[in-house]
Structure 1
Amino acid sequence: MPIHPEFPYPLYLVISKNDCKELNWLKVAEEAILGGVDIIQLREKDISYQDYLAKSIALKKLTDKYQIPLIINDSASISNEIDCWGVHVGLSDVQPIEIASQYGHKMHIGWSLEYLNQLNNEQIVATHHLGVSPIFKTPTKTNTVTPWGIQGIENLKEKTQKPLIAIGGMNRTNAKESFNAGANSIAVVSAICGSTDPRKEAQILKELLK
């Protein structure tokens, strides 16, 4: 799959402390970067704003060190406060148009695509890239609808020019197929966060996307 000029980040890590069972979550992030991860999204649920901000600051120091873009899940205010590359929101969060109206062009806005008719929604105008969710069923995200599957990626590629980030059950067994089907980026959670060797796992995944 050719690299999308607006999203040249084929390997995308979504990380949280709870998903990193074996190692310290910041260590996992650093090892993943060293293994080839191109962009990172911090996704924390059920923690206070101050705790989320503190984790975001800690991760931003690391991503700045390696010049890796950082995306904050759900919180445009945190993304703005610490000058992150982007924010990612779902259908139940503050929506892209409101974020754009408040922050202008300060951050790239990712939006979770769960239904095909979202492509006709007014929010798409303020959206920079789409998190196609889920491609396959996954234990890390249980509140989603019917999986898109490989055919879903192919279908979406014909209907939108927006960069597509495939997320949901992505790992070394299906990353290449999803990439070849039209995904511009493969977002992984458990495949790296749950690994005892995140650097090696990232290397394997990155090699598959060449």
Structure 2
Amino acid sequence: MKDFRLYAITGEEFHKGRDLIQVMEEAILGGVDIIQLRDKYSSKKEVLRKAKLLKELAKKYDIPLIINDHIDVALAVDADGIHIGQDDLPLEEARKIIGKNKIIGISTHEIEEAREAQKNGADYIGVGPIFPTKSKVDVVDPVTTKYIEEVVKEITIPFVAIGGIKLHNVDQVLDAGATRICAISEIVGNEDVTRVCQLFIKKIDERLLIK
């Protein structure tokens, strides 16, 4: 798994009328170095269609494509990995299906979940939601930057901070020790997707230089 700094997840509800592939390519051009297809509402056939297109895009720029939840779709398009939640298929079972050479990421909301994910072989974890977010229904309460600080002290696998992260509050996330950021609406819903990604990367890189 390549290391990464800026992780973008699809959110077509935030850019209605704009082409999915165009938006995600603009994000990549701005510095996004890993993308995830998350589609909770389309038919399996439509998710597969989007996954095929995103796979070609990711291949073009040599970055990983992660599929949220749909392990069968991930296998069908030979995606680089999957992302699962706490209520999805257990990580160990997902690994049996996806294979040892694919990436598995898992969302975590407390340190015990992070410990379990690391112990069970996750390649990375999502840490959040840091702030209130409208990008996901039935979301848990914000875990705040305190959870980032706990993860930094104890967890050795890569983690990405997610949930309500915007340009105006990302400094709080970086101050807490995060070096990888994930955003949805702030990226794909922006009028200038490439520019907002460049600004995120600038903030991350500046913080890494300080460290």
Matched AA of 1:94: L
Distance 2:117 2:132 in 1: 28
Matched residues in 2 for 1:170 and 1:59: separation? 24
Structure 1 residues 72 and 62 mapped into 2: Cα distance closer, same or farther (>3 Å)? same
Instruction: Quote how far apart the aligned CAs of 1:148 are.
Output: 1.7
Match of 2:15 among 20, 27, 32: 20
Partner of 2:122: 127
Q: Is 1:187 the equivalent of 2:182?
A: yes
Q: Indicate the SS of the match to 2:120.
A: helix
Question: Which stretches in structure 2 are left out of the alignment for 5+ residues?
Answer: 206-211
Q: Does 1:107 align with 2:102?
A: yes
Q: Given the alignment of the two structures, is residue 77 of structure 1 paired with residue 104 of structure 2, yes or no?
A: no
- Evaluate the alpha carbon distance shift between residue 200 and residue 12 of structure 1 in structure 2; reply closer, same or farther with a 3 A threshold: same
Deviations 1:27-63 (A, max 9, x none): 1101111111111011001211111111000111111
- Cα distance change on mapping 1:90 and 1:55 into 2, 3 Å: same
Which amino acid is 2:29 matched to? L
Task: Work out whether residues 9 and 183 of structure 2, in 8 Å CA contact, stay in contact via their aligned partners in 1.
Answer: yes
Distance in 2, Cα, partners of 1:99 & 1:89: 9
TM-score (norm 1): 0.90
Residues matched between the structures, number: 205
Amino acid at match of 1:25: L
Q: 1:108 to 1:143 in 2, by over 3 A?
A: same
Q: Which residue of 1 aligns with 2:27?
A: 32
Of residues 124, 140, 143, the one that matches 1:145 is 140
Contact 1:26 1:59 in 2 (8 A): yes
Which 10-residue stretch deviates more, 16-25 or 44-53? 16-25
Structure 1 runs, 4 residues or longer, greater than 3 Å off: 119-124
Give the CA RMSD over aligned residues: 1.7
User: What are the ranges of 5 or more consecutive residues in structure 1 without an aligned counterpart?
Assistant: 1-5
* Cα distance in structure 1, aligned partners of 2:39 and 2:187: 16
Larger relative contact order (Cα-Cα within 8 Å, sequence gap ≥ 6): 1
Q: Please tell me whether residue 164 in structure 1 is matched to residue 159 in structure 2.
A: yes
TM-score normalized by the length of structure 2: 0.90
TM-fit CA distance, 1:145: 1.8
Deviations 1:184-203 (A, max 9, x none): 31001011111111011111
Q: Is the 8 A contact 1:118 1:124 kept in 2?
A: no
CA distance in 1, matches of 2:106, 2:135: 18
Any conservation in 2 of the 1:22–1:194 contact (CA below 8 Å)? no
Deviation at 1:122, TM superposition (A): 7.0
Amino acid at match of 2:147: G
The equivalent of 2:6 in structure 1 is 11
